[in-house]
Structure 1
Amino acid sequence: MAGRLLYLGNGRRLQSASKLDDRFETWGLNVDRYWSYGGQFPSSLKGYDGIFLSGSPHGAYEAIPFIRREHELIQDAAAQRIPMLGICFGSQILGSALCGRDQVFRRAYCEIGYKTLPLTEAAQDDKLTCDLVGSVDMFVWHNDEVRASHPDMTVLAYSDDCPNQIWRYRDADIWGIQGHPEVTKAQALLWFEENRSRMEADGASIDDLKAKAHEALDAKTMLTRFAELVQHG
């Protein structure tokens, strides 16, 4: 029987440019999509084998009804030991809900570009990052950041400008990824054009990003590892 995944879409549209919800289905999962940004949430977490939390234009610290509701859902899911993975805002709201609202802060400037993220020693034996060796390459774009100092967090990867790029909560099957391993090269080229003005305002050169775009295949193993966990436990 296929694992059942709750997909929470926190963006202005339910489906992001990466169409990761569709890919989870190609990896054998039954995906229930809820547009949390629009106030849609399941009435119960019963029967879910995993939860994915997407990116968002909002900050996890904002006093917005859907963000408050998502905090509660995360805490409920953690108490039930349901595996969770959050990307970008998804990582930030996991940190905020599980480790305190002061865990997420607005940076003085944006970190944007393709980065090589060194792995910590803890990453070698972690369920999500065990396929990676030494470092992982992916695109990062964030103005908000999750602090790295909380005792309930194990940092698995960092960048030259952010000490907490990938982390795990306690010994639970709960992870946050600040960057964007989900985006393919083709999707990235379209995404960069669609967000040209915002990315340029954040200090990026779109031509440079396009020249450096790649498939981030190593990083995508974290996504397939999570899908396998939801599928098989």
Structure 2
Amino acid sequence: MSFRSKKDHENVLPFPGRSVLAVSDLAPLPPVLIVLHQETSTPGRVGNALRALGYPLDIRRPRFGDALPETLDRHAGAVIFGGPMSANDPDDYVRREIDWIEVPLREQRPFLGICLGAQMLAGQLGAQVAPHHEGRVEVGYYPIRPTAAGHALCPDWPERVYHWHGEGFQLPHGAELLAEGDDFPVQAFRSGHAFGFQFHPDVTYAMMHRWTTRGCVRMDSPGAQPRHLHFEGRAVHDVIERAWLKNFIAGWIRRSPRAALLEAAE
């Protein structure tokens, strides 16, 4: 089963303060590899931000038989998103995804792991992934504290971000902590060109409706917020989180070889 995107360079939008070249003036940008874990999953705001920068999306679902490339030579970068499964599950596709992360690490290509994807990255780097020792979860909006390294990388972090997880991970050896939290101390980290976020800046309004309806059982767990607080939190924190994500994605994708060449030519 394949759900790969076949449309390139849609929705190219100008960003304030930056010159915009017509797509026809440049060779097509390479796609960004998108790894999803459910039939109905979407890349949400991360996909929107990448498309706005002119990058097509190569969407694959290894859980349903899609293969992952042996190299990222034909991709600008890769993103592994979240899902209801655990990075500790014995399923073949989970183990294959964790092993595959060695490809962007070896080739020094931009990689981003979100929630489950961050846990997979941490596991690939040798860190432990486990539930909270008191069984607590983060489901809703929770505070994060960017470190000095996080501020230097990307300013204007939101005070609270959206979460939906029951497991966390240690900071991998040699990785740089970018943001920390309370019940789950490691919220964002960097290892070379690879980044991991425990939180979900990718969630759209429609996704929040689906998650809080279909995943309502998770909201009975210790530490979870009731459904109405998810939408109250979004009304307060979403504008800043959305702007922060756009800035992060723009800087993250510039780490790709093609983007670096284009930037050097400007």
Q: If the length of structure 1 is used for normalisation, what is the TM-score?
A: 0.84
Structure 1 position 88, deviation (Å): 0.3
Residue 106 of structure 1 corresponds to which residue in structure 2? Answer: 131
1:79-126 CA-partner distances (Å, limit 9, x unpaired) = 11111001000000011012x2x5211222212221221111111322
Q: 1:33 aligns with which of 55, 59, 62?
A: 59
Distance (Å, rounded) in 1 between the aligned partners of 2:142 and 2:106:
34
Q: Is the contact between residue 62 and residue 68 of structure 2 (CA under 8 Å) also seen in structure 1?
A: no
Q: What SS class does the counterpart of residue 109 from structure 1 fall into?
A: coil
Residue 179 of structure 1 corresponds to which residue in structure 2? Answer: 199
Residue 154 of structure 1 corresponds to which residue in structure 2? Answer: 176
Distance (Å, rounded) in 2 between the aligned partners of 1:217 and 1:201:
27
- One-letter amino acid matched to 1:206: R
Residue 15 of structure 2 corresponds to which residue in structure 1? Answer: none
- One-letter amino acid matched to 2:59: R
Distance (Å, rounded) in 1 between the aligned partners of 2:251 and 2:212:
27
Q: 1:225 aligns with which of 245, 251, 266?
A: 251
Answer with 1 or 2: which has the greater Rg. 2
Higher strand share: 1
Please list, as runs of the form range in 1=range in 2, the aligned pairs for 1:1-233 lying within 5 A after superposition. Answer: 1=27, 2-9=29-36, 11-13=37-39, 15-16=41-42, 18=44, 20-45=46-71, 46-98=73-125, 100=126, 102-107=127-132, 108-126=135-153, 130-132=154-156, 136-148=159-171, 150-169=172-191, 172-185=192-205, 187-201=207-221, 203-214=224-235, 215=238, 216-220=241-245, 221-230=247-256, 232-233=259-260
- One-letter amino acid matched to 1:72: D
- Identical pairs, percent: 22
Q: What RMSD in Å do the two structures reach over aligned CA positions?
A: 2.3
Q: Which runs of 5+ in 2 are unaligned?
A: 1-26, 261-266
Q: If the length of structure 2 is used for normalisation, what is the TM-score?
A: 0.75
Q: Is the contact between residue 45 and residue 204 of structure 2 (CA under 8 Å) also seen in structure 1?
A: no
1:153-192 CA-partner distances (Å, limit 9, x unpaired) = 21110112221000001xx110000001112345424432
Alignment coverage as a number of residue pairs: 223
- One-letter amino acid matched to 1:193: T
Q: Is the contact between residue 136 and residue 221 of structure 2 (CA under 8 Å) also seen in structure 1?
A: no
Distance (Å, rounded) in 1 between the aligned partners of 2:255 and 2:231:
33
Distance (Å, rounded) in 1 between the aligned partners of 2:183 and 2:202:
21
Structure 1 position 201, deviation (Å): 4.1
Task: Give the direction of change, closer, same or farther, for the CA distance of 1:137–1:208 in structure 2 (3 Å limit).
Answer: closer
- One-letter amino acid matched to 1:95: A
Distance (Å, rounded) in 1 between the aligned partners of 2:173 and 2:96:
25
38-47 or 69-78, which moves further after superposition? 38-47
